[in-house]
């Protein structure tokens, strides 16, 4: 009997489907030079690959957090009908079990051994005193925290750092081995080429970015077993755990909202540009109308209504996670509905241009049907616009989640997300001294995610945008060509 | 041009009607008035009489679009759509849940909202264009490259961070201006400075980068090369020729920014507790006062359409070749 029951939430299913599509596209495009050529530019771009290393980290965390299941309740007899916990867990929760389960009473500072607030405790000899009590888990192994704390933290961090160095060395060795194997040169020779940055793929930048990531993460991972490395929040939950969990929420919103937007923008934009006439009028009317409603208000109105609907229909979901997930899915839907107008307008303009070109006219003269012209001639030639818009929108959507959750129309208030973290921490601003770690962690994680998404998006745009690619070739890329 | 403007204004009517239909569908089709009544009164054990009373108090006890039982005009006017949505065309928004007139409340709140949004907008654009011109002037040097890097980092930071950091540093640590609040007259100045400054800083990354792209696109054109060949100073080319010719794409984009100004002030006003339209909306969202949200949606769309018409007029002012017909 399985020790757990797999739960596939709506957003999980869509996320995995999307990853499958992307992987399938990679294999499809590999064999077609005209499709893989721009991607080669991306792979050869230093900025793009450095950003991709960080994005990959976020993606791995997000995917781990999307493998959901409900554990079998312990103590259930094997012969009886299995009962499963109400709580849905993810693979990340299992990996981070110590972080998830070891909650304190309330706030504690990063790496602290004592609570942030004073409490009245009974003294052993009778009487009471106001002291900062010891944490239940953070630094609980220390006999005398005041004397041992700094050496223990330092030692643990060094051990973590050492582990990180080992991991990085293995990684570097693997990379060198693979590159040497494909190029047919010796390992030492390949390593020298990588280190002097003479490879076409900027392996040196990739390894340095990985080193930067590992140097920060490894000591944190080592410390988080014994301490709350980023402190705890109001109800004593580990902030590092909350930050890791928030990654999936941000990723899902950014990816799913784009996915919802694409069919609207593609179908309507191309149809408006290609058929013109009354179809164009109707589609233009629809997107002007949608665009004229301020997006926050449209989202607010829709989310309010959905809240009311879910309030009157509790039969739609079994667990809290399913409610959160349904709300997340709906938020993505409404974000997609408000976001498609921009891309639609771009595609309409481009299609208006394309339909007058000779090859489209020729196809029409040969009697090729409209559907074939649209799918075989127009669609492939507007894909670069779609791709650029998709990657450029990604970071904006991650940031939008925080703002919307603050306004109260974002994800479910019980869901762990950057917006909810900021919202909860904001209320403690007036506290003296300030509780800064929750805010800082949410902002730093969000900054890293958005910044790497932005840098990667720039690399993709440089590779795909015909307007931008040319000047770059003249100034910057000429040097790259000489070097490689 | 008059004929064009009249046509544009007439074209606005179906759009506003569409906006009305969308909000109407959102607010009444997803949840029936019964559901809303049960939710507002709380719980499942609500008597049918209480629901009916709530509905008739709010005016939700009518048919949606068409009242077959009434006679004459009342067949259309005595419906939820007409009394709740169509009335907004004459800016009659009805009363909020607390009984106050929404339109009057809006008139009182538009002043504080503009006091924040207008300076942010005007000063902001002036700053961004100046920065972008500087970057374009120093293009392909380290000034330009580090400027662009700074822009990308700045636009990757959440807007909420700028607000929280600004409030903490300037108001809490340095005590330069009050953390939040508002007052009438010149006393408002000390409350306005911080939100305006934060609003400008928050937009600096994305906007500067965008304007820089526009200027660089313009700089690569033939007439600039001609001007340079004739020996004009680079600064003169930038400020006299490039800036003027970049006006059309800038104007198009500025109007795109106007509706998003709304979003900015929504957050800004709630953080700085400014009694403007943004905080009004946030309060309405938190109190689930659907009448106010509906009215704000209508007002927002109306302003957006006005913005679109103004853009067209501004084209003719910026570029004498543009004729509106």
Assign A410 to helix, strand or coil: coil
In this predicted structure, what is the pLDDT of residue A470?
42
Assign A430 to helix, strand or coil: coil
The residue of chain A nearest to residue B40, with distances taken between CA atoms, is A308
A:348-367 residues touching chain B, CB 8 A cutoff? none
Contact (CB<8Å) B158/A300: no
- The span from the CA of B179 to the CA of A87, in Å, is 42
Of the partner residues A292, A399, A475, the one whose CB lies closest to the CB of residue B140: A475
Nearest CA-CA distance, residue B183 and chain A, Å: 22
In this predicted structure, what is the pLDDT of residue A465?
78
In this predicted structure, what is the pLDDT of residue B259?
60
Contact (CB<8Å) A296/B263: yes
CA nearest to B284, candidates B272, B297, B271:
B297
Looking at the predicted structure, is the pLDDT value of residue A228 above 80? Answer: yes
CB-CB contact of B215 with B136 (8 Å):
yes
The residue of chain A nearest to residue B140, with distances taken between CA atoms, is A475
CA nearest to B285, candidates B68, B52, B96:
B96
- The span from the CA of A29 to the CA of A177, in Å, is 26
Interface test with chain A among B285, B298, B307, by most A beta carbons within 10 Å = B285
Q: Is A478 on the interface with B (CB under 8 A)?
A: no
In this predicted structure, what is the pLDDT of residue A483?
31
Write out chain B in H/E/C secondary structure.
Answer: CHHHHHHHHHHHHHHHHHHHHHHHHHHHHCCCHHHHHHHHHCCCCCCHHHHHHHHHHHCCCCCCCCCCCCCCCHHHHCCHHHHHHHHHHHCCCCECCCCCEHHHHHHHHHHHHHHHHHHHHHHHHHHHHHHHHHHHHCCCCHHHHHHHHHHHHHHHCCHHHHHHHHHHHHHHHCCCCCCCCCCCHHHHHHHHHHHHHHHHHHHHHHHHHHHHHHHHHHHCCHHHHHHHHCCCCHHHHHHHHHHHHCHHHHHHHHHHHHHHHHHHHHHHHHHCCCCCHHHHHHHHHHHCCHHHHHHHHHHHHHHHHHHHHHHHHHHHHHCCCCCCC
Give the single-character DSSP code of A133.
Answer: P
Residue holding tokens 């080669």?
Answer: A40
In this predicted structure, what is the pLDDT of residue B44?
61
- The span from the CA of A202 to the CA of A49, in Å, is 7
Distances (CA, A) of A81 to A84, A85, A127: 10, 13, 54
What mean pLDDT value characterizes chain A? 84
Nearest CA-CA distance, residue B209 and chain A, Å: 12
Looking at the predicted structure, is the pLDDT value of residue A457 above 50? Answer: yes
H or E element: which one contains A122? Answer: strand A119-122
Of the partner residues A305, A312, A418, the one whose CB lies closest to the CB of residue B26: A305
Interface test with chain A among B28, B31, B117, by most A beta carbons within 10 Å = B31
- The span from the CA of A233 to the CA of A12, in Å, is 27
In this predicted structure, what is the pLDDT of residue A60?
93
Nearest CA-CA distance, residue B30 and chain A, Å: 7
Of the partner residues B36, B293, B294, the one whose CB lies closest to the CB of residue A308: B36
CB-CB contact of B81 with B24 (8 Å):
yes
Instruction: Please give the full DSSP string across A49-64, using - where no structure is assigned.
Output: HHHHHHHHHHHHHHHH
Q: Is A426 on the interface with B (CB under 8 A)?
A: yes
CA nearest to A391, candidates A459, A329, A470, A472:
A459
In this predicted structure, what is the pLDDT of residue A11?
87
Of the partner residues A294, A302, A454, the one whose CB lies closest to the CB of residue B263: A294
Interface test with chain B among A304, A402, A421, A433, by most B beta carbons within 10 Å = A304
Who has greater pLDDT, B83 or A28? Answer: A28
Contact (CB<8Å) B158/A458: no
CB-CB contact of A384 with A466 (8 Å):
yes
Q: Is A427 on the interface with B (CB under 8 A)?
A: no
CB-CB contact of A292 with B304 (8 Å):
yes
- What are A379-403's pLDDT values in tens digits? 988 988 898 888 888 888 999 888 8
CA nearest to A300, candidates A454, A223, A409:
A409
Who has greater pLDDT, A431 or B307? Answer: B307
Average of pLDDT values for A183-202? Answer: 85
Looking at the predicted structure, is the pLDDT value of residue A480 above 60? Answer: no
In this predicted structure, what is the pLDDT of residue A247?
93
Interface test with chain B among A58, A302, A308, A433, by most B beta carbons within 10 Å = A308
Of the partner residues B140, B161, B297, the one whose CB lies closest to the CB of residue A293: B297
Each of the 325 residues of chain B gets a pLDDT tens digit; together they read 788 888 888 888 888 888 888 888 887 777 777 777 776 776 666 777 777 777 777 777 777 777 777 776 666 777 777 777 777 777 777 777 777 888 888 888 888 888 888 889 989 999 999 999 999 989 889 999 999 999 999 999 988 899 988 988 888 888 888 878 888 777 788 888 899 999 999 889 989 999 998 999 888 889 999 999 999 998 889 888 898 888 888 887 787 667 656 655 788 888 888 888 888 888 888 887 878 888 888 888 888 888 888 888 878 877 778 777 6
CA geometry: angle at A427 spanning A425 and A430, to 5°? 110
- The span from the CA of A321 to the CA of A314, in Å, is 13
> Around Cβ A402, how many Cβ atoms within 10 Å?
26
How do the residues of chain A divide into helix, strand and coil, expressed in percent and rounded to 5? 70, 5, 25
Assign A326 to helix, strand or coil: helix
CA nearest to A244, candidates A92, A394, A374, A111:
A92
CB-CB neighbors (< 8 A) of B301 in chain A: 289, 292-294
> Around Cβ B47, how many Cβ atoms within 10 Å?
9
Nearest CA-CA distance, residue B105 and chain A, Å: 18
CB-CB neighbors (< 8 A) of A286 in chain B: 18
Cα A261 to chain center, whole Å?
Answer: 18
The residue of chain B nearest to residue A455, with distances taken between CA atoms, is B152
Interface test with chain A among B8, B31, B158, B218, by most A beta carbons within 10 Å = B158
Average of pLDDT values for A316-337? Answer: 85
- The span from the CA of A413 to the CA of B278, in Å, is 21
A:267-306 residues touching chain B, CB 8 A cutoff? 285-286, 288-298, 300-302, 304-306
Who has greater pLDDT, B310 or A12? Answer: A12
H or E element: which one contains A68? Answer: strand A68-71
Average of pLDDT values for A424-438? Answer: 79
Provide the token pair at A324: 């959160």
Contact (CB<8Å) A294/B297: yes
Average of pLDDT values for A285-290? Answer: 90
Of the partner residues B19, B157, B160, the one whose CB lies closest to the CB of residue A289: B19
């Amino acid at each position: 009997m399985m020790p757990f029951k797999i739960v596939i939430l709506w957003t999980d299913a869509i996320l995995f489907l999307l990853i499958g599509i992307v992987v399938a596209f990679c294999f499809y495009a590999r064999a077609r030079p005209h499709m893989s050529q721009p991607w080669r530019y991306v792979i050869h771009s230093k900025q793009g690959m450095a950003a991709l290393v960080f994005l990959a980290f976020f993606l791995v965390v997000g995917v781990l957090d999307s493998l959901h299941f409900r554990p079998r309740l312990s103590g259930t007899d094997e012969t009886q009908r299995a009962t499963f916990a109400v709580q849905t867990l993810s693979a990340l929760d299992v990996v981070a079990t110590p972080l998830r389960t070891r909650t304190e009473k309330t706030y504690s500072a990063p790496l602290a051994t004592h609570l942030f607030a004073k409490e009245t405790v009974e003294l052993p000899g009778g009487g009471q005193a106001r002291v900062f009590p010891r944490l239940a888990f953070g630094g609980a192994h220390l006999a005398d925290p005041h004397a041992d704390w700094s050496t223990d933290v330092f030692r643990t961090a060094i051990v973590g750092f050492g582990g990180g160095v080992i991991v990085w060395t293995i990684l570097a060795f693997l990379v060198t081995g693979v590159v040497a194997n494909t190029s047919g040169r010796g390992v030492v020779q390949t390593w020298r080429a990588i280190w002097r940055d003479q490879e076409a793929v900027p392996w040196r930048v990739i390894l340095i970015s990985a080193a930067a990531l590992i140097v920060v993460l490894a000591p944190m991972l080592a410390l988080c077993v014994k301490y709350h490395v980023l402190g705890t929040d109001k109800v004593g939950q580990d902030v590092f755990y909350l930050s890791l969990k928030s990654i999936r929420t941000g990723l899902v919103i950014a990816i799913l909202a784009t996915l919802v937007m694409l069919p609207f923008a593609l179908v309507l934009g191309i149809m408006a540009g290609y058929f013109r006439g009354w179809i164009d009028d109707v589609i233009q009317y629809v997107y002007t109308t949608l665009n004229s409603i301020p997006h926050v208000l449209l989202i607010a109105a829709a989310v309010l209504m959905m809240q009311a609907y879910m309030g009157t229909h509790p039969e739609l979901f079994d667990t809290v996670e399913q409610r959160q997930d349904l709300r997340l899915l709906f938020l993505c839907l409404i974000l997609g509905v408000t976001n498609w107008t921009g891309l639609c307008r771009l595609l309409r303009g481009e299609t208006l241009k394309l339909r007058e070109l000779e090859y489209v006219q020729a196809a029409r003269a040969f009697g090729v049907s409209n559907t074939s012209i649209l799918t075989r001639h127009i669609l492939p030639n507007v894909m670069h616009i779609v791709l650029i818009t998709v990657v450029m929108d990604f970071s904006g959507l991650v940031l939008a989640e925080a703002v919307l959750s603050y306004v109260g129309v974002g994800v479910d208030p019980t869901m762990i997300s950057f917006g909810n973290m900021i919202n909860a921490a904001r209320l403690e601003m007036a506290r003296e001294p300030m509780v800064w770690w929750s805010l800082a962690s949410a902002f730093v994680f969000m900054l890293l995610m958005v910044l790497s998404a932005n840098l990667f998006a720039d690399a993709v745009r440089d590779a795909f945008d015909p307007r931008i690619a040319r000047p770059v070739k003249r100034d910057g890329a000429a040097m790259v060509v000489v070097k490689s | 041009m008059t004929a064009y403007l009249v046509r544009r204004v007439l074209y606005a009517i179906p759009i506003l009607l569409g906006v009305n239909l969308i909000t109407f569908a959102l607010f009444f089709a997803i949840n029936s008035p019964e559901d809303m009544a049960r939710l507002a009164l709380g719980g499942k054990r609500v008597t049918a009489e209480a629901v009916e009373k709530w509905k008739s108090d709010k005016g939700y006890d009518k048919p949606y679009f068409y009242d077959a039982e009434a006679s004459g005009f009342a067949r259309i006017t005595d419906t939820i759509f007409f009394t709740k949505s169509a009335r907004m065309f004459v800016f009659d928004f009805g009363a909020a849940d607390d009984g106050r007139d929404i339109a009057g409340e809006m008139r009182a709140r538009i002043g504080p909202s503009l006091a924040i949004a207008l300076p942010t907008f005007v000063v902001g654009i002036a700053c961004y264009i100046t920065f972008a011109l500087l970057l374009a002037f120093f293009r392909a040097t380290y000034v330009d490259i580090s400027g662009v890097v700074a822009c990308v980092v700045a636009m990757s930071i959440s807007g909420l961070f700028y607000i929280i950091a600004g409030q903490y540093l300037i108001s809490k640590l340095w005590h330069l201006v009050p953390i939040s609040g508002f007052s009438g007259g010149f006393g408002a100045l000390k409350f306005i400075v911080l939100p305006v400054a934060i609003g400008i800083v928050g937009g600096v990354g994305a906007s500067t980068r965008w304007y820089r792209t526009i200027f660089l696109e313009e700089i690569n054109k033939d007439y600039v090369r001609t001007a340079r060949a004739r020996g004009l100073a680079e600064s003169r080319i930038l400020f006299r020729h490039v800036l003027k010719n970049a006006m059309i794409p800038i104007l198009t984009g500025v109007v795109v920014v106007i509706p998003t100004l709304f979003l900015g002030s929504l957050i800004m006003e709630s953080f700085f507790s400014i009694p403007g339209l943004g905080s009004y909306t946030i309060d309405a969202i938190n109190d689930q006062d659907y009448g106010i949200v509906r009215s704000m949606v209508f007002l927002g769309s109306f302003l957006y359409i006005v913005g679109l018409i103004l853009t067209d007029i501004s084209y003719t002012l910026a570029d004498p070749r543009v004729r509106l017909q």
